[in-house]
């Protein structure tokens, strides 16, 4: 995955942000909509594309565009930077392979400790019972 080439393939669209803000919101387009064409990307290998399409299928539309929006700040430039950062984190998270789990066995000392504790607990419970008077 080449981050620089991926960033060059991103497309941005500035739209008017919703919510509080008075007249400023009505005049300025600060919300950023980021779109990335997963299917036609040259920066990703076929394996990476398939992983992204499978893992992020709820965020990808019918045209195989990955869409992200950012309207956190009142600045268009800050929103663009935040959107890029979030996009890269998402892609890296999807492409990161989880470590394989290795089976382990408990050590001899831990087994002995567990059995010793079980015997102590059993003895404790046996001593709670009523004595046999025969």
The pLDDT tens digits of the residues spanning 57-116 come to: 898 888 889 999 998 888 889 999 999 999 999 999 999 988 999 999 999 999 999 999
Tell me how crowded residue 68 is: count the other CB atoms within 10 A of its CB: 17
Q: In the prediction, which pLDDT does 28 show?
A: 81
* 67 strand-pairing partners: 35
Answer yes or no: are the C-beta atoms of 29 and 8 closer than 8 Å.
Answer: no
Q: In the prediction, which pLDDT does 29 show?
A: 85
CATH tag, 3-95: 3.30.160.20
Place of tokens 């045209």: 63
The pLDDT tens digits of the residues spanning 7-33 come to: 999 999 888 877 666 777 677 888 899
């Amino acid at each position: 995955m080449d981050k620089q080439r991926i960033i060059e393939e991103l497309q941005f669209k500035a739209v008017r942000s919703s919510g509080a803000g008075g007249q400023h919101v009505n005049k300025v387009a600060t919300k950023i909509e980021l779109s990335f064409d997963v299917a036609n990307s040259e920066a990703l290998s076929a394996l990476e594309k398939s992983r992204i399409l499978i893992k992020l299928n709820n965020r990808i539309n019918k045209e195989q565009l990955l869409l992200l929006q950012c309207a956190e700040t009142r600045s268009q430039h800050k929103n663009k930077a935040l959107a890029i950062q979030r996009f890269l984190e998402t892609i890296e998270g999807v492409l990161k392979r989880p470590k394989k789990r290795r089976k382990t066995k408990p050590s001899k000392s831990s087994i002995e400790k567990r059995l010793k504790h079980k015997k102590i607990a059993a003895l404790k419970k046996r001593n709670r019972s009523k004595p046999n008077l025969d």
